[in-house]
A and B are shown apart, each in its own frame.
Chain A
Amino acid sequence: MFSGFMVNAWEIGTIVAVVGGVVGFFVVLRGAAFPAHAIPNGAFAGAAGANLLGVNPLIGLGVFSLGAALGIGRLTRRGRADAVTALALVMMLALGAAFLSQSTEYEPEIFSLLFGEILGVSRGQIVPVAVLGAVCVLFVGVLYRRLLLTSLAPEIAAAQGLRPELVDTAFLVVIACATTMTVPVVGALLIFTLMIGPPAAARCFTDRAEIAFALSVAFALVTVWVALACSYVSDWPVGFYVSVFSAAWFAAGRGYLAWRRHTSAPSRPWGSSPDV
């Protein structure tokens, strides 16, 4: 389990988990789950297009996910964010369908774009993924507090000169960056679960942002590691296990929260008091 092609899988899985946990924390906090879903799925069309042109799929992924991020960021400044995101998603899926219809590529290639092929990762893929991952983590780390305040209270952040609309777009670009690096590894359909499940669970276990942030990364790591091991043993796809364990974290988190509220309800007397 810890030799040969599996070494690459462990390494790249670890990188993807860290990025998923870090970026995902703010995806959940900002309520950006829909863009985080739309960007990877749209980016899949870019990879299909790149296949058709015979260029590196990573370039197609990059171009499409970046285009989607900037487009969604630009257009959501006025008008309905969800409608714009949905339209961007279907446009890119339509393009993907068109590219695929022209492609002579056989099915497993397409399948791997959607569901990833982490067990087939080569040494050469690790470096670009690590670099893109480091960029994402660095960005979130440096702008951590800005991201926090612009997520919680964009109007207040704007009044403090923090430019929330700029932070919004920059963060979408980070999602695009994370997407580009992770789609070939875990697939377009499944990176999303890693960005939602562990962070959404993490915030149930603590009321402190820094701890939730760290927990989000820890949960994502455990998810990927356990999924890899299960996949190795059972021969089922890694993505399946990643999704199941991500959802399980979330279920556990909500359960914990419900239990906490149930047991600690009487100790919060001001909750029901009518004063300010």
Chain B
Amino acid sequence: MSNGPVLDVDHVSVAFAGREVLDDVSFQVQASEFTGLIGSNGVGKTTLLRSVLGLQRIDRGEIRVNGAPLSRHARVLGYVPQKVSLDPDVPVRARDFVALGLDAHRFGFSRRTKDERQLVEQMLMDVDAERFADTRVGSLSGGEQQRILIAHALISQPSLLLLDEPLANLDPKSVEEVVSLLHRVAKDHGVAVLLSAHEMNSLLPVMDRIVYLTNGRAASGTTDEVVRSDVLSTLYGHHVDVLKLHGRVFVVAQPSESDVEIPEHSTLTIE
């Protein structure tokens, strides 16, 4: 593998029906780094991830994975979508679903080799999923299913793992568990992570880099470089304050420039 970035998003624009969803977005993800793609709902996080996966046509710019232009990344990218809806009685055990990450592209019924079965076993252990490995994948809880999806995505040993809002709809304790699990597994497997979320605080302890997305535009760098009043104000196009409180970060827009009279204590929080 080259020493360059795993992912290079280079001046990418995507428009839907004349509206720019992504407007000249550029950032890089370095090998083995944990990058958070932060922005509120509807700012284009999913569009960006889909573009990287080659599932969304981009109008301008280029996306390179391991230095190669976007085409068929299949095996170098792992992907965990926001939600997979499965019938509870689908006859597929969690371990079988993980194994499909290894050989879904293979033809016929060829038996899995001993090495492959060991790899599945190892992967299940890595995501702490042994105890429900023999349960039908559709009957697992949301959090259990997520571990299986992560194992499925990682087993083909991609160099970059993309996760779309894996922390949405989880209680705070589960958020912490998933974040530390991802951090640990990514380090162990030497895989870079690009994870989208609408809230950055739970990611602060593990994030090497942040890509902050708003209005289709992005700022990227370390958290200290990006989550600053001047940088985010430029990005938003109006003044925002960045407040730090007990190791947590809040981005707050002040409505002071508005002509409308707003009560003093009312602030708009953009998470």
* Chain A residues near B (Cβ < 8 Å): 29, 141-146, 148-149, 152-153, 155-162, 202-204, 206-212, 257, 268, 270-271, 274-276
Q: Please tell me which one of the listed residues A156, A203, A208, A270 contacts residue B79 in the complex, with CB atoms under 8 A apart.
A: A156
A142 lies within 8 A of B108 (CB): yes
> A143, A209, A257: which has the most chain B beta carbons within 10 Å?
A209
A-B contact pairs, 26 of them (CB 8 A): A141-B108, A142-B108, A145-B104, A146-B105, A152-B84, A152-B137, A153-B149, A155-B79, A158-B53, A158-B55, A159-B55, A159-B77, A160-B74, A160-B79, A160-B105, A207-B136, A209-B92, A209-B96, A210-B109, A212-B91, A268-B135, A270-B132, A270-B144, A275-B174, A275-B177, A276-B143
B51 to chain A, nearest CB (A): 12
Is B257 an interface residue when CB atoms closer than 8 A count as contact?
no
Which residue of chain B is the closest to A161 with respect to CB atoms?
Answer: B74
A190 to chain B, nearest CB (A): 25
Q: Please tell me which one of the listed residues A204, A268, A275 contacts residue B89 in the complex, with CB atoms under 8 A apart.
A: A204
Is B72 an interface residue when CB atoms closer than 8 A count as contact?
yes
Which residue of chain A is the closest to B49 with respect to CB atoms?
Answer: A159
* Chain B residues near A (Cβ < 8 Å): 53-55, 72-75, 77, 79-81, 84, 86, 89-93, 96-97, 100, 103-109, 131-132, 134-137, 141, 143-144, 146-147, 149, 152-153, 156, 162, 170-171, 173-174, 177-178
Q: Which of chain B's residues have a CB closer than 8 A to the CB of A158?
A: 53, 55
A142 to B108, CA, bound (A): 4
Contacts known (A141-B108, A143-B107, A153-B84); A276 close to B100, Cβ less than 8 A: no
A156 lies within 8 A of B108 (CB): no
A139 to chain B, nearest CB (A): 11
A204 to B132, CA, bound (A): 19
Q: Please tell me which one of the listed residues A29, A144, A155, A161 contacts residue B109 in the complex, with CB atoms under 8 A apart.
A: A144
A159 lies within 8 A of B91 (CB): no
Contacts known (A145-B105, A209-B96); A203 close to B146, Cβ less than 8 A: no
Q: Which of chain B's residues have a CB closer than 8 A to the CB of A157?
A: 104
Q: Which of chain B's residues have a CB closer than 8 A to the CB of A274?
A: 171
A152 to B88, CA, bound (A): 11
A204 to chain B, nearest CB (A): 7
Q: Which of chain A's residues have a CB closer than 8 A to the CB of B104?
A: 145-146, 148-149, 157, 160, 162
A152 to chain B, nearest CB (A): 6
Which residue of chain A is the closest to B106 with respect to CB atoms?
Answer: A145
Which residue of chain A is the closest to B153 with respect to CB atoms?
Answer: A156
B183 to chain A, nearest CB (A): 15
A155 lies within 8 A of B74 (CB): no
Q: Which of chain B's residues have a CB closer than 8 A to the CB of A141?
A: 108-109
A276 to B179, CA, bound (A): 12
